[in-house]
């Protein structure tokens, strides 16, 4: 049996032990988003905050503390530097986790992450703070990527849509938590320290975890993978678990260290990484643009940001419900939500900058809802497109493009305040074009994620008929029923001949 069979038949696709791991490590999902988008309050214009909070003092934001009120661009630059660090972090940690394991990379990164976040709160100048922001982004981006993969790999593949959505839901709760904390604790140094303390419990909990069994399996370390699976099974309450991983042909081959070169050398993964790179770039661009510029659609920064977080929760529920439905799946979910988010951004052009009406707020929140749904989906969709041997490298590369989108989005608040028409056209066109590019990708619902390039090639040989007909509308299939059936039958015959030849 393979890893998924072990989860389904012996270990439990998801049990009390996996739920415990998700619950504790989820605290990182509350801390990092607060640190990531905290610039909304750390570097805010105090005049905007005073409209809704009489607790604002002379040192509540670093712009006020360091006499930078006339240089709002420094706040945007600081955030772009954070995302630049994030970009390099996902590249480095993606490689490290594939070479040395998910657990080793995750533990090392988080033990460095906490002191870096804490020390940044003692910065004495914006240059020093910006430097710390780079390393905070580097470590935070890297370990967040590795943690996401790790948490997906310790549960059965049938649960990936739900568990991926749950992981992303922590970001929504984090935005609300940030707004509440920023309102009652507006001093930026104290606020940064408070959200950093959330990292202490999961940091201690890491000492009790094991390596990802899927990673061990992909490296041919079958006995080690079996030991980890047995540990998970026992902690799930399974008595005397017995399992045996089958030795695949890939495990018998000499071990190879895969790199980005291997990912782009393969024709199919090259196409997938190219399309997904643009999709991730646009998702990050539109998502963070609507987050940082939430004040443009509402008069109260705290309320606008909190609603911007709360509106993401329905997207999590929708992902959990829709992604495993045959009529929806991953692919349709991505292209439909991206196109709708683009249309919402284009619709905001009709409102003036001074307009803070409920209609503008509703349309802006709808755009945030749809792009959040898309962002949740691609985190589930992308890992299923690539072999385990290069999955972390692929996701690291995609996250790199997402951070590039975040770097540009860091200046969205200044752009929208200066030229809102240009800003919303940019975000709208990007969303629509990314949605249409999704048609070039296959649907992964119902198929096991490949462990190797050989598995990926076998999937292409096994399901070519599906690729030929998956984009034909149902109404057209009804009219062309016999023709489609003939195509399928002929294709199946060709497949059988290919398998006999192999």
Phi, psi of 78 (to 5 degrees): -60, -40
Q: Which of 73-87, 223-237, 313-327 has the lowest mean pLDDT?
A: 313-327
Secondary element (H or E) of residue 21: helix 16-37
DSSP 204-270: HHGGG----HHHHHHTT-HHHHHHHHHHHHHHTT-SS--------HHHHSPP----HHHHHHSHHHH
248 CB-near residues (< 8 Å, 6+ apart)? 2, 451, 452
pLDDT score recorded for residue 472: 39
pLDDT score recorded for residue 247: 63
Looking at beta carbons, which pairs linking 246-255 to residues 24 or more positions away fall under 8 Å?
A: 246/1, 246/2, 247/222, 248/2, 248/451, 248/452, 249/454, 250/220, 250/451, 250/452, 250/454, 251/220, 251/222, 252/220, 253/220, 255/219, 255/220
Looking at beta carbons, which pairs linking 113-119 to residues 24 or more positions away fall under 8 Å?
A: 113/139, 113/140, 113/143, 113/199, 114/196, 114/199, 114/200, 114/203, 117/31, 117/35, 117/192, 117/196, 117/199, 118/193, 118/196
pLDDT digits (tens, 9 = 90+) for 82-116: 999 988 988 888 888 888 999 999 999 999 999 99
pLDDT digits (tens, 9 = 90+) for 200-240: 999 999 888 889 998 888 888 888 888 989 998 998 888 88
Are the beta carbons of 369 and 314 closer than 8 angstroms?
A: yes
pLDDT digits (tens, 9 = 90+) for 390-411: 887 888 788 788 889 999 998 8
Is pLDDT of 475 > 70? Answer: no
Higher pLDDT, 362 or 167: 362
Are the beta carbons of 105 and 209 closer than 8 angstroms?
A: no
143 CB-near residues (< 8 Å, 6+ apart)? 28, 89, 93, 105, 106, 109, 110, 113
pLDDT digits (tens, 9 = 90+) for 243-254: 888 765 544 454
Q: Is 120 helix (H, G, I), strand (E, B) or coil?
A: helix
29 CB-near residues (< 8 Å, 6+ apart)? 167, 170, 171, 173, 174
Mean pLDDT score of the chain, rounded to an integer?
Answer: 83
Given phi > 0 = left and psi -120 to 50 = alpha, else beta, which region is 473? beta
Rounded Cα distance, 437 and 427, in Å: 16
Residue 42: half-sphere exposure toward Cβ, Cα within 13 Å: 26
Average pLDDT over residues 309-314: 89
Rounded Cα distance, 281 and 460, in Å: 27
pLDDT digits (tens, 9 = 90+) for 244-297: 887 655 444 545 677 778 788 877 888 888 999 999 999 999 999 998 887 778
Write the secondary structure of 139-185 as one string of H (helix), E (strand) and C (coil).
HHHHHHHHHHHHHHHCCCHHHHHHHHHHHHHHHHHHHHHHHHHHHHC
């Amino acid at each position: 049996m393979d890893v998924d069979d072990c989860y389904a038949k012996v270990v439990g696709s998801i049990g009390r032990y996996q739920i415990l791991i998700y619950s504790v490590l989820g605290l990182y999902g509350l801390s990092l988003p607060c640190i990531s988008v905290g610039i909304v309050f750390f570097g805010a214009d105090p005049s905007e905050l005073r409209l809704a909070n009489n607790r604002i003092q002379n040192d509540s934001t670093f712009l006020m503390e360091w006499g930078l009120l006339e240089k709002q661009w420094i706040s945007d630059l600081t955030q772009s530097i954070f995302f630049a660090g994030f970009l390099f972090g996902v590249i480095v940690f993606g490689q490290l986790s594939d070479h040395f394991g998910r657990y080793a990379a995750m533990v090392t990164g988080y033990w460095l992450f906490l002191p870096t976040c804490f020390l940044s709160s003692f910065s004495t100048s914006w240059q020093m703070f910006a430097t710390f922001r780079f390393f905070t982004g580097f470590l935070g981006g890297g370990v967040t990527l590795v943690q996401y993969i790790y948490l997906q790999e310790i549960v059965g593949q049938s649960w990936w849509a739900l568990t991926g959505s749950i992981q992303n839901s922590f970001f929504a709760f984090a935005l609300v938590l940030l707004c509440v904390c920023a309102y009652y604790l507006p001093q930026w140094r104290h606020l940064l320290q408070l959200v950093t303390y959330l990292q202490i419990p999961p940091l201690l909990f890491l000492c009790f975890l094991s390596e990802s069994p899927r990673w061990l399996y992909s490296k041919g370390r079958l006995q080690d993978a079996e030991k980890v699976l047995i540990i998970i099974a026992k902690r799930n309450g399974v008595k005397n678990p017995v399992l045996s991983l089958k030795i695949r042909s890939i495990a018998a081959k000499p071990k190879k260290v895969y790199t980005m070169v291997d990912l782009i050398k393969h024709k199919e993964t090259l196409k997938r990484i190219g399309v997904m790179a643009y999709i991730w770039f646009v998702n990050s661009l539109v998502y963070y643009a609507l987050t940082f510029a939430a004040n443009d659609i509402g008069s109260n920064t705290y309320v606008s940001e909190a609603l911007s977080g709360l509106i993401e929760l329905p997207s999590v529920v929708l992902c959990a419900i829709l992604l495993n439905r045959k009529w929806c799946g991953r692919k349709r979910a991505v292209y439909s939500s991206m196109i709708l988010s683009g249309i919402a951004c284009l619709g905001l052009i009709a409102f003036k900058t001074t307009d803070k009406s409920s209609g503008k707020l509703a349309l802006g929140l709808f755009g945030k809802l749809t792009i959040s749904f898309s962002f949740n989906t691609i985190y589930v969709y992308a890992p299923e497109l690539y072999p385990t041997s290069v999955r972390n490298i692929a996701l690291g590369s995609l996250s790199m493009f997402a951070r590039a989108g975040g770097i540009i989005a860091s200046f969205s608040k200044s752009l929208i305040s200066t030229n809102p028409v240009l800003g919303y056209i940019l975000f709208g066109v990007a969303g629509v074009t990314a949605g249409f590019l999704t048609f070039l990708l296959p649907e992964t619902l119902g198929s096991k994620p490949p462990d190797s390039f050989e598995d990926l090639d076998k999937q292409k040989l096994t399901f070519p008929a599906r690729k030929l007909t998956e984009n034909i509308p149902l109404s057209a299939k009804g009219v062309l029923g016999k023709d489609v059936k003939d195509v399928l039958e002929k294709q199946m015959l060709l497949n059988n001949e290919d398998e006999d030849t192999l």
